[in-house]
Every structure is written in C-alpha cells, then in structure tokens.
Structure 1
Amino acid sequence: MDWQKAKKGFSSYLRLEKSLSANSVGAYLGDLDKLIQFADSKLIKLYPDTIGMNDLREFIMWVNELGMIPSSQARIISGIKAFYKYLLMDNQLSYDPSELLEAPKLMRKLPDTLSIVDIDKLIDAIDLSKPEGMRNKTMIEVLYGCGLRVTELVNLRISNLYLDIEFIKVLGKGNKERLVPIGAQAIKFLKIWLQEVRVHTPVKMGEEDIVFLNRRGNRLSRVYVFMMIKELAEKIGLKKSISPHTFRHSFATHLIEGGADLRAVQEMLGHESITTTEIYTHLDREYLKGVIIEHHPRS
C-alpha cells in the first residue's frame, strides 16, 4: 500500500466526512508525515499495511528522542490512531496496529488567570490619547467580557453584534457558530469605538464588516493583539506571562468562582464537552444571558 495514496484518502476523509477545518486537517497530515519519515528511514521500508504494533512503539520512542514534549507525542498518537481507523473503515486493512498504542501520561497544567484588580490595571494602562487607545481598550473588554479566542476577536463582524439584546455571534473552531452574552461594560466601549472612532477610519475593500481595524483599514493580526497585551503587562510590572488566552481563562474562572453553572460556561466558551460523557449541552439563551449578568464582575 502506497503512503501518499493512503494520505490523500485520509485527507479527503477528514475534510468531507469529519468536516474538519483546513488547520485541523493540516495538523493530522503533519503527524502522519512524521510516521512516513520514520517508515522511510528503516532499512526495510515500512508501509501502511506492513507496519506493526512494535514498529509504532519504536516510532513513538523515535519521536521522544527528537525531544517532543508529552502533549505533542499524545497529539501525534491521536493522529496515527485516526489514520488507521480510517484505513479500517475504508476496508483497506483488516486489523488496526495502533489499537493498543498508549499515549504518554500528561500532567494537567492549570492555565494562568488574572485577578479583577490586574485586569483593571491593564485596562487603565492603555493610553486613550493615542488613536489606537479606544480600540485596544474595547478589545480587552470584549476578550474578557465574552471569553473569546484571539482569532474570534480579530474576525468579529459588525453584522454579528446584537447589542440591543446583549448577544454577539462568534465563529469558533471548526467554523461553528455560537451566541455569547455580552455585558454592559463591553457594550459601552463597543458603541464608543464603532460610533465615535472607527467611523473616521478609512476601510479597505472587503473589511467593511470587521469590527477592529488598524489605521490602514485592515483587520488586525493575532500577533498584534499578543504584542499589545505583553506591552501592557510590562507597563504595569505584571510578572505573569500573559496572552489573549489569559483573558479567556480569567473569564471562565471568575464566572465559576462567582457560582455560574459549569454547563453555561462550557456553552459560552464553545467547548463541545465538560467530560467525555457529557457532550453537547444546549441551554436557553435567556438563561445564558442571566448567568453572565449575574456572575460576571463587569456586568
């Protein structure tokens, strides 16, 4: 069995049957490429239908010797298992050599969070006399107020803001849409940004619906948001290493500490499950809005 032919079929399976995003498909294929490199390096070359359990264990040892951390090894094993599951489903193999392959045990790292005092300090450190000041302040209010990923923030659209009913529509991972309640503080600064500042920005064609723009009228890059937050942390002497994702963790932590229902927070973050047995929890929108209004410190 030819590796490249099997890889092509696997790619189609991921895109068409699993409906994965281009980034996710690329990650799976990248992991498979590592197995192909290993197979080609053997004195007697290995192929998808000749590789065995011991070969795969040797492959994991090979990956480990390259210096990959346990979480990366676990992701690679997951990708390899998905590849062999596809070959089995497609009747290209009669057995799965990866079935008993075990991922390394992972230490669960708790994400850093910010205190409400730290968040206030970061926001207060923004220089509102600069043209980008109000935009940056609004971005942090929305990051923290809605628990968005940085990609969701930079791609946020004006047409997806329903500020009159206190919701925004977000396009998350895998192009999945979700409605997220938005608090009074974030709404206040969004309105100021859109109605008093952004209206004076020349907008590039195709970016008319994007909420956050740079001075040239283009949407902001993810890198810009990372750098802006790191500069603010340095400005206030914050010792923690923070990123846009820190505001997302803080959003969830502060809601849960305030007594919010875990399933409501799960829905707002766009996570598919809290546990492996509790998948897809659909909650009433008014309940979601009530949770954030009651428990979020900026509401």
Structure 2
Amino acid sequence: MKPFFYSAFLFLCVIVPTATAQIPDAAAMGYVREGIAREKKGDLDGAIAAYTRAIQRDKGFSGAYNNRALARKAKGDLDGALADINKAIEAQPRNFFAYFNRGSIWQARGDLSAAIADYTSAIKMGPSIASFYIHRGIARRAKGDVDGALADYTKALKLESKLPAAYMKRAGILKERGDLDGAVADYTSVIKNEPNYAIAYANRGNLLLIKKDYAGAVADFSKAIELSPRQEFLYANRGIALLLLGREVEAQKDFDLYLKLVPYMKATLEERIMKAKTEARP
C-alpha cells in the first residue's frame, strides 16, 4: 500500500523566488542526488556523508541541509537534525517545505507548540498542500486541541478528497464525539479509495457492532480477516457479532481461532462473551 502522506519532504533543489535566490553549485547538486539515492536504499550514513559533501561545496545549499536534517532525524539524531533544518531555513527563509520538516522534528522532540507554529508557517506559505494540515492536525490533537485537529483534517480533505489518513484521523474524532454515522461515512470513504485497507474495515466493523448492525459488522470483519488474517482481535470481534446474530457455532469457531493465536486472553474473551449475551437479551 502506498503511504497516505509524507512525514517529511526530501528534495534535490527548491528555489523560492527571492531577490537573493541562487542556483546551487552543480557538483553540490550531484552529491545531493547521490544522497537521495543512498537514502532510498536505506543507507543513511552514506546519505549523510553525501549531503555533507554537498554542503562543503556550497554552504548556502538549503536543500542539502534539509535532506541531511531528515537523514539525521531518521537515525534519531534530533539535535543534529534541528541544527541542519535551521540552516536550511536561514539559507532560504521562504522554503515552506523546510518549515514543515522542522515542525516534524519539533514534534519528534515532543515540543508540540513549536511544531504547530512551524506547520502554521508552512501553511501560510503553501496553503494548498494537504499534508501540512494533516500533520498540524495530529499535533493539535496531541496537544488537546480537538476542534483545531478536526478543522485541519477537514481542510486537508477539501484540498484532496482521497486522503485516507485524513479520513481515518477525522473518523477517530467523530467516534469519540458520538457521531457514529459520520465516522462510518469516513471509514467508507477510506475503503472506497483504498479497498485493501484492513484497518478501515475493522474500524467500521467496530462501529457497526456498536450500532447493532451485526450483519454489517460480520461482513467488515470478514473482509479485514481476508486482508490481514494474523490480526487475532478480528476473530474475537467477528465472533461477538456472530453470537449476537444467533450464529453460535460459527461464533465459537472464531473464538477458538482467537484463543489459538492468543491463549492468554481467555479470561478477557469470556468476559466479552458474557457481556454480549447480556446485551442481547430482550
């Protein structure tokens, strides 16, 4: 499955029109190409070395600092990443991708306020890039600003209507707020755009179970199992839905499969079964 949105932006060269913008040194650009190729192969150390050579050739090459920052972040060197991304912004203050990437570094460091500020700067300079809103939404929600997060996910979807990540994030908020129909609709949109996304079926199945659409829940859990058969919780959930439909033999088969995968969950499953039977009584 393709990733739904980028957590960071690598680039060869981004020139933002300013009075001082210059084309980077040709040899430096060659080193950046090498760094990107190495990074794609998982060779972060080689990529960092290539980006460093690019910087040695052209100390004002914003893209080289940006890419080295992201490689350092991937290695867990957040201090080095922050130092590099600051250099990228200093070299090219209107490079909104660099602000976005610095926001992701701040977020990795746990500084949500700084992350939100940088995502907001990126949005002001690049208001049509949906992933900026998604990441700001994630940071806002983590900080407790659920309304802000919801607004950001909705804005991202207005810009790009087929973004599973935004639908998934928004559905989670809608579920928490009791808007089960809205959450189901968002998961349905995910499935429409990514028909092999098992978690979307599982999540929609959970909501249908709450809504007492047991047949719909069984169908969704069955599809999720088809796509991801090693996810043990799916068997338990489908078993509960089958039990509530009165299909006890099929339900028991699912419970047996569940316990085969996670035998230590027997007591918890028995509690769920008892609760389901109680709720099913007229």
Q: Tell me the TM-score normalized by structure 1.
A: 0.27
Structure that is richer in strand per residue: 1
Structure that is richer in helix per residue: 2
